[in-house]
Chain A
Amino acid sequence: MSKVISSIAISGAQKVVGAVDSAVRQVIADKGSNCPVGFPDTAYYLPVIYSLLGHKVETLGDMLPVLDECKSLLAPPPSESAWLPYFGSTLDAGMATLFAAEMLEACKYLIGPSPVDGIWLGAASDVIIRERGIEFVDGSAPGFAAIVGAAPDVETAVKIARELQEKNIYVFMAGETGGISFAEQLVEDGVEVGWDTRLVPFGKDVSAAVYALGFANRAALSFGGVQPGDYARNLKYNKDRIFAFVMALGAVDEIKCAAAAGALSYGFPIIADTAIPQILPSGVCTYEHIVSNVPLDQIVEKALEVRGCKIKITKVPIPVTYGAAFEGERVRKEQTHVEFGGNRTPAFEYVTTKELDEVQDGKIEVVGPDVDDVEPGTALPLGIWVEVAGRKMQPDFESILERQIHHLINGAEGIWHMGQRDIIWVRISKNAKAKGFTIAHLGEILHAKLLNEYPAIVDKVQVTLFTDKEDVKKRLAQARRVYRERNLRVESMTDETVDTFYSCLLCQSFAPNHVCVITPERLGLCGAYNWLDGKAAYEIDPTGPNQPLVKGECLDPIRGQWKNINDYVYQNSKQTIKCFNAYSMLKDPMTSCGCFEAIVAMLPECNGVAIVSREYPGNTPMGMKFSTLAGMIGGGIQTPGFIGVGKAYISSRKFISSDGGHKRIVWMPKELKDSMREELLHIGEQIGIPEFIDMIADETVAMDDASIRAYMEKVSHPALDMWDITQPSPEAAAWDAKKAAAPVAERKPVEPVKDAPVKTAVPVGKPAAAVTAAPVVVSDAKMDGDLLIKMGGDLRIATPSQSAKIVMPGKFSVPGESVNMQVRTVTLGGSGTRTSAVTIGGASAFPFRHFEGDTGCRQVVAMEVFDQVSPKLPESMHEAYGSLLENPAEMAKYCVEELGAEAISVRLDGTHPDNGDKSPDEAAKVVESVLKAVGVPIIVTGPGNYDKMNDVMKQIAGAFAGENLLLNWAETDNYKTLTAAAMGYGHCVVSQTPIDVNMAKQLNILMTNMGIAPEKIMIDALTGAIGYGLEYTYSVMERIRTSAFTGDAMLAMPMLGTPGSEVAKTKESKAPQQTFPLWGSAAGRGALLEIATAMSLLNAGADLLIMYHPIAAKTVKNKIAEMNNM
């Protein structure tokens, strides 16, 4: 009879919307449309409206468009006959009711009656959402029951509430039946209501039920990473994750019906104890939509069944109710029958490991007086002595199990526990005693729950409870010795002393790319999992979200980066996070999920950081509240300059240690500072500034960069004397420089040439750049000195250490491009007599854009030698090389050994018919001499003449078969012979076309049609020097690379650039200084032009450069190293 429900709900919705419409207009008439309106302590405006419509209601006027929206959602109720489909309209009417109800509640905050009144709590603040929302994420709260109305009597109400509490389900209460509400019924029986006991009275009007839905919507926004306005995802998140339902108790009037229809869109079904019409088929809800007439003693069970919610509860054999909801319940002094500890008596708890045969499972022994032996109000000593045994139990887990005692004991109704170790305080209430609770039941709880929650590590549990003063004293001394040992062990446990960290992927359900890496000195950012917890969790569930990570090779000891960790993070972040630094918030920091305890945020103006904790509701120096900030950095992304952290990390020795550590802390909320007073005092001592805690500004001192800075100057804050926080620390910079200097840039291993066996001294498989290792490594200093003398001192080689001033973007992440195809790799040399190989290409991101993807192999600098010196060669080349120009073999040796050339091009201009017409044999001799002189890969650059080119290349290809030369070049009108020669003798070949994408592609097709492997082809789009058409070259090369990335296989080859020969042709590199005095030194010009051309080509995508001038070659090589080691 869903038509009946529809009629009721739609007419109810019409009434609600109509009433709210006139109420809002009245309030606007009184207060003006600019009057601010909203719920307290939230950054989510009116959360249902904000999250589903994306509309911010900040003033009364902002409500008007929402009212229009509500009206547009209202269809007429179904007519008597020939009615139109009504199910969708009913859902819409329900949503309109919720929007209207939310505005009504907001108006109450403005004009009264206040929603916060007596037992009624009104809207939940963001702090509550964060705190409680996490329980919905980690499963400790399986869902919530939105109870509307009241039970027939107090006893039934209490029974239903207890049953829900026992199942850890939150109870959200709104509305009434016949003037009585469910919440009032509970209070009447003395049940403690409030967030702590999970029995939450929102308000007595039905409209207060909207707070429950606002809670659900905000959970999706803050934990599900759902964007405001994305109603589809928000509601799906609620359907799949927040297992809530509506329990309608008592008569359902049209207003209740309309509001409940709103809950249906969330996938929250309605369970009623009265005989309202049912809607049984599924779809919008997982199972039934409305189930009615359910007997009250079955209603909780039925609700869970309809919602599809499975709850595992351990029956704890005690005479009182047990459930997580009771953890927040207090036992006041006058309610107490007996208490232990709390400074009145000695009391402690202790877990120890025993051998399996030393523990008698289930043995609970009380040594000393029990509850019946004492008068109400007595204080007894207490020693909770827990002995556990298990095949996988380790002493490291003792403290973890011991820490559970607090919440395990607190779960019992009427029992209260505080503290840990030797500072515990336990109360057993009179009510509990009346129900039969004794001290032995404390042991029963621990036995049942430890076995149940830690089955993988705990096989047997035996508990002894000492209440005799002498026993307690004796045992306490024993326990204290162990506490001390544990402290020492934990303190001595550092990231360096363990070889394994633990991952935590628990939050991936809402931040799918987030990977927590938990180290001994950096706990999970939720604050709930430290390294030992990770270890224990792994033992408990070896396939669970906590996995051991063997650190592997350390890639950066300063910032805390390890190879295996990087690999794991990459794999488990769905290939989005390539690199992770444990101790830096600036460079590749850890991603943040959503449930971090605090945020560390950089304040560049103050050269330090602010730390904001979740509890702090106010504005922060970053100009926004915690929740807004959290929304920005959460969701599993790296946000340089911002990290989410667990609070305990703040006092860790590794706290942003590579960015300057504790001395960087310039601002914290006062409350956080106070709560961490001891730790901060300790930190002060460690950094040698005992008064450091007072140097940290808080909201009572300063709220913006400038005033914090002023305060820092007043108190001489140490951060003021530190290096610029946006830059790497001196240690990190030194490490970077060391890494850049070392010839290790690992990108792609050298791939052996497939059809030619490798017989070289250089081990194949070494990283690509390593193969450039020429026999002699020339130091920068020597290079600088020699050349600067020659150049008259007007040029400097940019070395990485001098130029490493690239400013790290502090506050944003760059969206990455994705590509469909990776550029192929081409390997030159590496076989025959070649002692090294170079592999180029392999990029799937544009050059140097490491943040976007794999930029492939490092670019390679080759240098050119000549079979005959052209009279047109610039004077600067003669100055640089002198007589070496005449001797290609010697010059090649010089280029490789002294200048670090990674390949040599032998230019055979002398074979050109117009230019000496040397024979192919003569050319082969020159090539042979170079091959003998150096072991690096050789490029053979032929003359331009087609016939001669073919003759020479045929000869050389055959004579040096297996050397894996690069034959330079084939072109559209002359490609067949060169291609055949390359195929026949195992060489690579350059495919050269005149600055045209289509021609480049066409030639590659023609060549590959002949059968040459595309991995043997390099593209030369033809270089124009700067000022001579470089812009055309640039754009064509870029187009070629773009096409490759978008999937054009015939353009996905590495590219060659020839800045050396092209610049050497220019007037600017040749003209003497006296002709153009303003152009400056002739010696330097060519090199500068060559550098500029080469750098542009690199940016356009060139993978191999053939260069001329020593300074140019060396500078470009340094730049390549630097830009690839960012």
Chain B
Amino acid sequence: MAVEIGEFTRACAMGAASISDFAKTKTAVLKLSAQTQNGIADAGLLHKAAALFDIETDGRDDCTVASALAGFFMSQFSWSSQPSAILHLAPAKLRQHWKSLGIEPSGIDSVVVESLANTGDPAKTCMKCGIADGWIGSLIATIASDILNGSPKPFVAHIDPGKKIECKSFTDFMKNTEFGGPGNLSTDLRLIAGFSNESIAHMLGGRFRAGLKVLSDAITDGRIRGIACVFGCSQGDNSLADIANELIKRNVLVLNIGCSVVDLAKAGLLLPDAAAERAGETLAEMCEMIGMPPVLQMGSCYESARILFLANELLALGGLGEDFSDMPVAVYCSGIEGRSAAIAGCYAASGLFTVTGKSDLSTFRFPLSTIDDPVDAIITHIESKRDNLKINTQRERKLLDMKERRELV
């Protein structure tokens, strides 16, 4: 049952098309909100995004900036002779790699068409489609949505396990239920959701020292061996929860996006007390320090870019290599149905070790090679990266005199 290239390409194109459509809607809403002078929930985020894309903010009001940002986003869908301007957010080394392979997407829609037209090297087309899905589609959708709604903050959500949830709207769905919505509270599941990049930075350092240093230190000193992002379109099957369970037991911090939230919630992994009960000793210590669950729910599948942001920020702190591929980070996707293929394609093409079901997508060599034990493969990968980074040793306690302190930058 090895994954075939044709099947994977079509799935990628479908996923990217759906993300593109969603991102376009969000962009249109952003534009409209700007024009009608309302609906900018997070001006700080707006300015941060404007700075990322060189959008003038001096002397402009928020709506003008938002309108310009929406205009920029709108230009990222159609074909252009140049790679998308968003790609500069990826680490330099990764970008160079994409460039040398000739897989830098221009507009996301043109990449979808290219995939369906089936003209180029199929494996490269898949990578390109994945990159467009995550770095363009999801990134636009996530940023636009956060500017409009504010970036999510941790909250206790209640979901009805009997109800099939719609991927696109489940964040809203959970919010609604939380605030007195229609959820059947007698039979509901509780979970803690709302882990955005901003809320993670806050929970690790408070308002004044917000950032990922605590997480980065924990990875470096081995309390957290690495990070795994798990997701999948299926609902109602235990395989994903089993994998997550195994990973946290081995001190890997697990992140989750998409519909599989229901399965993880059912398994109780999205509540903080899961740490003491299920996680390995050192991951549990970190969870206890922060007050976080061992599995962080980071949104729906259109928010897959949050994982990219997180990896980017960890990389920027230093000590974890120069590229995503250097980091002890892996991805597990339960299968390639629905939108999972494009997301898995994005992570794999961005250099993260990616397992889809029982296949290794990382090399894009079709038919994909089979992996017997995904957990084992992920752990092996994480530990080998740790070895390469030379962080698999006891962290040295350096006492600094004044001269050495002056050299700290």
**Contact of B213 with A2 in the complex, beta carbons under 8 Å:** no
CA distance A304 to B405 in the complex (A): 14
Residue in A94, A243, A283, A509 with the greatest tally of chain B CB atoms within 10 Å: A283
- Asked if B289 contacts A235 (CB within 8 A), the reply is no
Stretch at the interface among B15-23, B68-76, B142-150, B217-225: B217-225
Q: Smallest CB-CB separation from A287: which chain B residue?
A: B397
Interface residue? B5 (CB, 8 A)? no
Q: Given A1-B288, A6-B291, A281-B217, A84 and B156 touching (CB < 8 A)?
A: yes
Contact indicator per residue, chain A 917-937, by CB within 8 Å of chain B (1) or not (0)? 000000000000000000000
- A305–B399 CA distance with the chains assembled, in angstroms: 7
- On B, residues with C-beta under 8 Å from A are 154-156, 190, 192, 199, 202-210, 213-218, 221, 223, 271-273, 285-286, 288-292, 397-406, 408
Distance of B265 from chain A, by nearest CB (Å):
11
Q: Digit string of A85-98 for contact with B (CB within 8 Å is 1, else 0)? A: 11111111011000
Within 8 A of B (CB), among A1051-1071: none
Q: Which one of A1, A3, A139, A235 lies within 8 Å of B208 (CB-CB)?
A: A235
A88-B400 contact in complex given A52-B208, A81-B273, A284-B209, C-beta closer than 8 Å: no
**Given A73-B207, A87-B204, A304-B399: A2 and B291 interface contact (C-beta under 8 Å):** yes
Nearest-neighbour CB distance to chain B for A302, whole angstroms, equals: 12
Chain A residues with CB under 8 A of B208: 52, 91-92, 95, 231-232, 235, 265
CB distance from B69 to the nearest CB of A (A): 23
**Residue picked from B209, B272, B398, B399, most chain A C-beta under 10 Å:** B209
Q: Are B398 and A308 in contact, with the CB atoms below 8 A?
A: yes
Taking CB atoms, residues of chain B closer than 8 Å to A243 are 400, 405
- Evaluate whether A91 and B285 lie within 8 angstroms (CB atoms) in the complex, with A139-B401, A139-B402 already known: no
Say yes or no: B288 contacts A280, CB within 8 Å. Answer: no
In contact, A85 and B404 (Cβ under 8 angstroms):
no
A310:B400 contact, CB within 8 angstroms? yes
Q: Is the CB of B204 within 8 A of A139?
A: no
Q: Are B192 and A84 interface neighbours, CB within 8 A?
A: yes
As a 0/1 sequence over residues 278 to 312 of chain A, the CB contacts with chain B under 8 angstroms (1 = contact) are 01111110010000000000000000110011111
Q: In the assembly, what is the distance between CA of A94 and CA of B206, in Å?
A: 10
Q: Which residues of B contact A89 (CB under 8 A)?
A: 203, 206
- Given A2-B291, A78-B291, A88-B205, A284–B399 Cβ distance below 8 Å? no
Q: Identify 30 residue pairs between A and B in the complex whose beta-carbon atoms are under 8 Å apart, listed by A's number.
A: A2-B289, A6-B291, A73-B207, A82-B271, A84-B154, A84-B155, A85-B203, A85-B290, A85-B291, A85-B292, A87-B204, A87-B290, A88-B210, A91-B206, A91-B207, A91-B208, A95-B208, A138-B402, A139-B401, A241-B405, A243-B400, A281-B218, A281-B223, A282-B217, A283-B216, A283-B218, A284-B214, A305-B397, A308-B397, A308-B400
Beyond A89-B203, A241-B405, 9 additional contacts (C-beta under 8 Å) are A85-B154, A85-B272, A85-B290, A87-B290, A87-B291, A91-B205, A282-B214, A282-B217, A305-B397
Across-interface contacts of B207 in A (CB, < 8 A): 73, 88, 91-92, 95
Interface residue from B190, B203, B209, B216 paired with A82 (Cβ < 8 Å): B190
Q: For A86, give the chain B residue with the smallest CB separation.
A: B291
* Bound-complex Cα distance A135 to B370 (A): 64
Bound complex: CA A94 to CA B271 (Å):
26
B279 to chain A, nearest CB (A): 14
Looking at the complex, which one of A73, A92, A281, A284 makes contact with B285 (CB distance below 8 Å)?
A: A281
Find chain A residues with CB under 8 A from B272 CB.
82-83, 85
User: How many residues of A are in contact with the other chain, CB < 8 A?
Assistant: 46
Contacts of B273 in A (CB 8 A): 81-82
> What distance in Å separates the Cβ of B391 from its nearest Cβ neighbour in chain A?
14
Distance from A769 Cβ to chain B, minimum over Cβ atoms (Å):
41
Which A residues are CB-close (under 8 A) to B286?
281
Q: Tell me how far the C-beta of B127 lies from the nearest C-beta in chain A, rounded to whole angstroms.
A: 31
- B interface footprint on A1-22 (CB within 8 Å = 1, 0 otherwise): 1110010000000000000000
B405 and A2 form a contact (CB under 8 A): no
Q: Specify which chain A residues have a CB less than 8 angstroms from the CB of B190 in the assembled complex.
A: 82
Measuring CB to CB, which residues of chain A are less than 8 angstroms from any residue of chain B?
1-3, 6, 52, 73, 78, 81-92, 94-95, 138-139, 142, 231-232, 235, 240-241, 243, 265, 279-284, 287, 304-305, 308-312, 509
Give the chain B neighbours of A138 by CB distance below 8 A: 402
* A240–B401 touching, CB < 8 Å: no
CA distance in complex: A87, B290 (Å): 5
Q: Are B156 and A82 in contact (CB under 8 A)?
A: yes
Q: Which residue of A lies closest to B155 (CB)?
A: A84
A287 → chain B, closest Cβ, in Å?
A: 6
Q: What's the nearest-Cβ distance from chain B to residue A857, in Å?
A: 33
Q: Known contacts being A91-B209, A95-B208, A283-B204, is A142 close to B402, with CB within 8 Å?
A: yes
Of the listed residues B273, B291, B292, B402, the one surrounded by the most CB atoms of chain A closer than 10 A to its CB is B402
Contact A87 B217 (CB under 8 A): no
Smallest distance from the beta carbon of B206 to chain A beta carbons, Å? Answer: 3
A-chain residues with CB within 8 Å of residue B214 when the two chains form the complex: 87, 281-284
Task: Tell me the bound Cα distance from A763 to B209 in angstroms.
Answer: 62
Query: A88 contacts which chain B residues (CB < 8 A)?
Result: 202-207, 210, 290
CB closest chain-A residue, reference B401: A310
**Top 7 A-B pairs ranked by shortest CB distance?**
A139-B402, A283-B214, A91-B206, A310-B399, A86-B291, A85-B203, A509-B406
Residue among A232, A280, A284, A287 with max Cβ neighbours from chain B (10 Å):
A284
A265 to B408, CA, bound (A): 18
Interface centre among A88, A92, A305 (most CB of B within 10 A): A88
By the criterion CB–CB under 8 Å, are B291 and A309 in contact?
no
Q: CA separation between A78 and B292, bound complex, in Å? A: 11
Whether the pair B401, A312 counts as a contact (CB closer than 8 A) is yes
* Residues in chain A near residue B406, CB distance under 8 A: 509
Q: How far is the CA of A3 from the CA of B207 in the complex (A)?
A: 19
Could you tell me the distance in whole angstroms from the C-beta of B209 to the nearest C-beta in chain A?
5
Distance from A266 Cβ to chain B, minimum over Cβ atoms (Å)? 9
Interface centre among A91, A139, A279, A287 (most CB of B within 10 A): A91
Cα of A248 to Cα of B401 in the assembled complex, Å: 24
The reply to whether A308 and B399 contact each other, CB–CB distance below 8 Å, is yes
A305–B223 CA distance with the chains assembled, in angstroms: 20
Q: How far is the CA of A406 from the CA of B403 in the complex (A)?
A: 25
Distance (whole angstroms) from the CB of B217 to the closest CB of chain A = 5
Contacts of B404 in A (CB 8 A): 310
**Within 8 Å CB of A311, what residues of B?**
401
CA distance A88 to B271 in the complex (A): 18
Residues of A within 8 A of B205 (CB): 88, 91, 265, 283-284
A536 CB → nearest B CB, Å: 18
For B206, give its contact among A78, A90, A139 (CB under 8 Å): A90
Known: A287-B397, A310-B400. A235 touches B209 (CB 8 A): yes
List residues of chain A with CB within 8 A of the CB of B289: 2, 87, 279, 281
**Does the CB pair A2–B204 fall under 8 Å?**
no
Residues in chain A near residue B221, CB distance under 8 A: 281-282
Rounded to whole Å, the gap between the CB of A925 and the closest CB of chain B is: 54
How far, in whole Å, are A56 and B208 apart by their CA atoms in the complex? 18
User: Roughly how many angstroms separate A240 CA and B400 CA in the complex, as a whole number?
Assistant: 10
A82–B273 CA distance with the chains assembled, in angstroms: 7
Q: How far is the CB of A102 from chain B (nearest CB, A)?
A: 15
Contact partners of A91 in chain B: CB under 8 A: 205-209
Which residues of B lie under 8 Å from residue A86 when comparing CB positions? 290-291
* Docked complex Cα distance between A85 and B273 (Å): 11
Q: A437–B218 Cα gap in the complex (Å)?
A: 51
For B218, the chain A residues whose CB sits under 8 A away are 281, 283
Nearest-CB residue, chain B, relative to A541: B403
What A residues does B401 contact at CB under 8 A?
139, 142, 310-312
Closest chain A residue to B291, Cβ basis: A86
Q: How far does the alpha carbon of A232 sit from the alpha carbon of B223 in the complex, in Å?
A: 26
A508: nearest chain-B partner, CB-CB: B406
- Give the residues in chain A near B288, CB-CB below 8 Å: 1-3
User: A232 to chain B: which residues have CB within 8 Å?
Assistant: 208-209
Question: What B residues does A142 contact at CB under 8 A?
Answer: 401-402
Q: How far is the CA of A541 from the CA of B305 in the complex (A)?
A: 51
The CA of A282 and the CA of B155, in the complex, are separated in Å by 26
